[in-house]
């Protein structure tokens, strides 16, 4: 590093990221000799930064606690990590995020222009639902994906499924969405020619590839993500007819769980009553949780399929009748 000021700031960054750095380690990181490292440390001391020198076999340099605040140096990846941490804290406390936003603004203002632009790109590519940030993804992956979203770059993705199965995908990234304590990437899987939702914390690497794509116009990322959840390729496809208002049904079957379609009187039960009939389609890996949902709906429900769910609901109803003493 030829620029002495830039190199001295790099020394400061390295000292901030470890309890102790040896002269040899700093020289190797900076690509200079040990005499140059000592001059750079002396330059920091002249600026009033409290750097301590430790002698002996295990000696080196470390930052000492001082009276003045150190000029913290963050890489763009570290700023993303700080942002995700602030987002998790905000979601956990359910408090307004004014302090989190002002803290992030202070950090980004201190960044070099190029890094600050990368952070702005990331924030612009993010969409949130009610809460977010329970599992922290790799900040470098987040930055790469955000830039690819903004520039419409094709991405080579290495992914690991929930079952631990690795795969490699070529994708067109549409946007990053935070939902229910997870960050998701909504993208087109070009090999399968279908839109998918990828959990960002399961992405092992993301690499931009040559070429760009044209993203869909007026894409509602949140609704698309919820629709992808509802359409997931699970073992069971459940179809219910429910006679209630949409708001009442959605309290038990949100958009991420069920596709909901209002039926006309003929498609329902042939009755022109005040309460409308709806068709709910649910994709589920297991049927175990559905009898309790049917009971919680507390309204008229018809199970169109599968037959296995009818058996489970009958068994649950028998148990409840027995508990109430109705079959004694």
CATH code for the structural domain at 4-63:
1.10.10.10
Q: Which of 136-140, 191-195, 201-205, 227-231 has the lowest mean pLDDT?
A: 136-140
pLDDT, residue 1, reads 43
Instruction: Choose between 95 and 122: higher pLDDT.
Output: 122
What pLDDT, in 10s, does the model give residues 237-262?
999 999 999 999 999 999 889 999 99
User: Which pLDDT value is given to residue 65?
Assistant: 62
Tell me what the mean pLDDT of segment 172-189 comes to: 88
Average pLDDT value for residue range 52-72: 70
Query: CA nearest 268: which of 250, 280, 286?
Result: 280
* Digit-coded pLDDT (tens) for 9-44: 788 878 877 788 899 999 998 889 999 999 999 988
Contact by Cβ (8 Å): 40, 7 = yes
Contacts of 249 (CB under 8 A, 6+ apart): 242, 258, 260, 278, 280, 297
Q: Pick the closest to residue 77 from 125, 111, 124, 103 (CA basis).
A: 111
Angle made by CA atoms 133, 131, 79, in degrees to the nearest 5? 35
Instruction: CATH 1.10.10.10 in the chain: give the residue spans.
Output: 4-63
Please name which of 155, 134, 136, 159 lies closest in space to residue 146, comparing C-alpha atoms: 155
Pick the closest to residue 234 from 171, 306, 302 (CA basis): 306
| Contact assessment for residue 183 and residue 132, using Cβ atoms and an 8 Å cutoff | yes
Q: Which of 36-50, 64-78, 111-125, 246-260 has the lowest mean pLDDT?
A: 64-78
Q: Provide CATH 3.30.70 ranges for the chain.
A: 232-324
- Going by C-alpha positions, the residue among 57, 50, 52, 55 that lies closest to residue 71 is 50
- Output 157 or 50, whichever has higher pLDDT: 157
- Look at the domain 76-217 and name its fold: SH3 type barrels. (2.30.30)
Whether domain 232-324 has CATH 1.10.150: the reply is: no
> Strand pairing partners for 207?
156
Above 80 in pLDDT, residue 123? Answer: no
pLDDT at residue 112 above 90?
A: no
Predicted pLDDT at 134 = 54
Q: Is the pLDDT of residue 91 over 90?
A: no
Residue range(s) in the chain whose domain bears CATH number 2.30.30.520 = 76-217
Percent of the chain at pLDDT > 90 equals 34
| Rg of the chain in Å (alpha carbons) | 28
Q: Is residue 158 pLDDT above 70, yes or no? A: yes
């Amino acid at each position: 590093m030829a620029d002495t000021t830039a190199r001295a700031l790099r020394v400061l960054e390295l000292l901030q990221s470890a309890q102790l750095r040896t002269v040899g380690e700093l020289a190797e990181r900076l690509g200079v000799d040990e005499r140059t490292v000592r001059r750079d440390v002396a330059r920091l001391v002249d600026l009033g930064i409290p750097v301590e020198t430790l002698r002996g076999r295990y000696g080196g340099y470390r930052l000492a606690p001082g009276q003045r605040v150190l000029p913290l140096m963050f890489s763009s990846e570290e700023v993303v990590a700080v942002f995700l941490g602030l987002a998790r804290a905000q979601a956990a406390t359910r408090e307004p995020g004014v302090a989190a936003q002002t803290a992030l603004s202070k950090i980004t203002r201190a960044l070099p222009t190029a890094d600050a632009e990368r952070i702005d790109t990331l924030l612009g590519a993010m969409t949130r639902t009610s809460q977010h940030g329970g599992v922290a993804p790799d900040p470098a992956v987040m930055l790469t994906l955000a830039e690819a979203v903004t520039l419409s770059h094709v991405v080579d993705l290495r992914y690991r499924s929930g079952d631990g199965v690795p795969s490699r995908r070529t994708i067109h990234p549409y946007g990053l969405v935070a939902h229910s304590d997870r960050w998701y990437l909504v993208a087109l899987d070009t090999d399968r020619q279908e839109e998918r939702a990828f959990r960002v914390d399961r992405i092992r690497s993301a690499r931009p590839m040559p070429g760009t794509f044209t993203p869909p116009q007026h894409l509602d990322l949140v609704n698309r993500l919820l629709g992808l959840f509802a359409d997931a390729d699970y073992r069971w496809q459940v179809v219910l007819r429910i006679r209630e208002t949409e708001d009442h049904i959605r309290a038990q079957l949100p958009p991420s769980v069920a596709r909901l379609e209002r039926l006309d009187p003929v498609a329902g039960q042939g009755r022109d009553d005040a309460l409308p009939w709806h068709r709910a389609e649910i994709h589920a890996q297991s049927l175990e949780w559905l009898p309790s949902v049917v009971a919680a709906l507390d309204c008229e429900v018809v199970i169109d399929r599968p037959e296995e769910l009818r058996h489970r609901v009958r068994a649950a109803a028998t148990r409840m009748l027995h508990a109430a003493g109705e079959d004694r």
